[in-house]
Structure 1
Amino acid sequence: MQFEEIFGDDEEPDEFDFVIDTHRRRFVGLLIDTSRSMALAQTGGMAAIDALNLHLAEWLPKVRAEGRGQLRDVEFVVITFGAGGVAVASGNRKPSARDDGAFVPAARLTLGPLEAGGATPMVEAVDLALDLVEQRRRHVQEVHGQQCGGPRLILITDGEPTDFEGNPTDEWRRLAVRLQQSRETGRLMLFAFGVPGVKDDVMRELAGEEGYFRLQDLDLKRVLDLALVATAEHVGYRRVADKFEDGF
């Protein structure tokens, strides 16, 4: 199945004015592992980080196109963890949930080339994403008087959580409790996509059995394709799982 069948027309968007008074907004946090392993791993004859940048260049126009349709009310915040520690890669690249801050409407989402290096401060990245989407929800409700749909986090990683120095850490256990509480109350959906090198037990604790998807190879294009499916409002865990099992 192609993206057109899931989202509709994938025509490139024209200049887009984001409507703030009639639509319910929804927030998506995209968390990308840019640790040193992404520079060392190879796929298709190139470093994984280079392959990721290549596929992102193809993926982002699809996101912007869908920003005129099914993703019209979606705002993205992109957070990387690895090179440079934990960093916001979208909007003004600052951890601000205010207007013209870190969040960008889907139709305007752009990213610069990502670099790989350093440790895997995954816990701190997810904590930041959780805090930012909650701050953004409050801001939109209080300042713009809009309703907000449940946020989604999409995590892409090939490793296990470490501290900022690269040492193993158990801080993910605390985070797992926080995420479980959010799932149980319906406040959040987390889709975690793991590629070779990932720690399965940790990811299952963080995302739950239904929210964790492990790829057998370093197919970053497929990961991004599945991530785009997971952003659609009508799509839940089962729909993504069906696409995953079908080899989408």
Structure 2
Amino acid sequence: MDNMLLRMEDLVNNPTPRVPVCLCLDVSGSMSGPPIDELNQGVKLLYDAIKDDEVALYSAEVSVVTFGGTDASCIVDFASLELQPNPPYLNASGMTPMGEAVNLALDLLEQRKEEYKDKGVDYYQPWLVLMTDGEPNGDSRKLQMAIDRTCCMVNSRKLTVFPIGIGSYADMGTLAKFSPNRSPLKLQGLKFKEFFEWLSKSVSKTSQSTPGENIKLDVEGIKGWGEL
């Protein structure tokens, strides 16, 4: 059975409310070496932590969109980790088409939300995690469109966005445009593992709440990996 049918069947067999989490990750050439190694370890840690939490295992749906090479790619579409238990392996190369990646992530999210509605499955406010170590150098119109779409969803309480800069060359000004209500954060050093630990705890907490409930983020915990 193909992946699309499995993902649809899962909504019928498992009507648990979903927590959609999209990781939109910079895998451009400048991420080569220790940064991409740490990012891979961090994503694996997120997967392991969700799989170890029985509620989150059935609630969390993780999608991974990368931007590097010459374009954005969906390497994992939204599905529970019961269906897709293995984290993707990320390689670094190429450019930084950030706008293209965010637009693709939002398109995938809109499509999955329609599938939830079609099957009568409730869902929590989706999360978009945008991580980059440089400046976007894709199509400027697509970048502006991605910024406008993200801000519109955040302002209408349809999305929680976490823009995170990696290293000293991250374009924090552009990241700030994606987040109308919260400043972007800069990762302390290469603390990817600490970030993904925090994210997995936040996903677990959300999955144990009621859809529509206002979840208080662990702001103290952010200090363990991020800085304003």
Same fold (TM over 0.5): yes
Residue 97 (structure 2) aligned to one of 99, 118, 121: 121
Residue 239 (structure 1) aligned to one of 206, 217, 220: 217
Residue 228 (structure 1) aligned to one of 176, 197, 200: 200
In structure 2, do the counterparts of structure 1 residues 59 and 27 end up closer, same or farther at CA, with 3 Å as the change threshold?
closer
Cα pair 2:38 2:190 within 8 Å, conserved: no
Residue 89 (structure 1) aligned to one of 75, 79, 84: 75
Tell me whether 1:189 sits opposite 2:182 in the alignment: no
Q: Which residue identity lines up with residue 158 of structure 1 in the other structure?
A: D
Following TM superposition, by how much is the alpha carbon of 1:74 offset from its aligned partner in structure 2, in angstroms?
Answer: 1.8
1:69-218 aligned within 5 A:
69-83=55-69, 85-90=71-76, 102-107=77-82, 108-142=84-118, 144-163=119-138, 169=140, 171-196=142-167, 197-210=169-182, 212-218=184-190
TM-score with structure 1 setting the length: 0.73
Deviation digits for residues 81-109 of structure 1 (CA, Å, limit 9, x no counterpart): 1136211222xxxxxxxxxxx22203443
Structure 2 unaligned regions, length at least 5: 1-8
Cα pair 1:85 1:121 within 8 Å, conserved: yes
In structure 2, do the counterparts of structure 1 residues 110 and 239 end up closer, same or farther at CA, with 3 Å as the change threshold?
same
Cα pair 2:45 2:197 within 8 Å, conserved: no
Following TM superposition, by how much is the alpha carbon of 1:170 offset from its aligned partner in structure 2, in angstroms?
Answer: 6.1
TM-score with structure 2 setting the length: 0.79
| Partner-residue secondary structure (3-state), 1:69 | helix
In structure 2, do the counterparts of structure 1 residues 145 and 86 end up closer, same or farther at CA, with 3 Å as the change threshold?
same
Q: Partners in 2 of 1:23 and 1:185 — Cα distance? A: 24
Cα pair 1:230 1:236 within 8 Å, conserved: no
Using CA pairs below 8 Å that are at least 6 residues apart, which structure has the higher relative contact order? 2
Q: Aligned pairs, how many?
A: 209
Tell me whether 1:65 sits opposite 2:52 in the alignment: yes
Following TM superposition, by how much is the alpha carbon of 1:69 offset from its aligned partner in structure 2, in angstroms?
Answer: 1.9
Following TM superposition, by how much is the alpha carbon of 1:18 offset from its aligned partner in structure 2, in angstroms?
Answer: 5.3
Q: Which residue identity lines up with residue 87 of structure 1 in the other structure?
A: S
Structure 1 unaligned regions, length at least 5: 1-16, 40-45, 91-101
Q: Partners in 1 of 2:26 and 2:56 — Cα distance? A: 27
In structure 2, do the counterparts of structure 1 residues 245 and 60 end up closer, same or farther at CA, with 3 Å as the change threshold?
same
Cα pair 2:70 2:95 within 8 Å, conserved: no
Cα pair 1:80 1:89 within 8 Å, conserved: yes
Give the structure with the larger helix fraction.
2
Following TM superposition, by how much is the alpha carbon of 1:213 offset from its aligned partner in structure 2, in angstroms?
Answer: 1.6
Q: Partners in 2 of 1:115 and 1:47 — Cα distance? A: 12
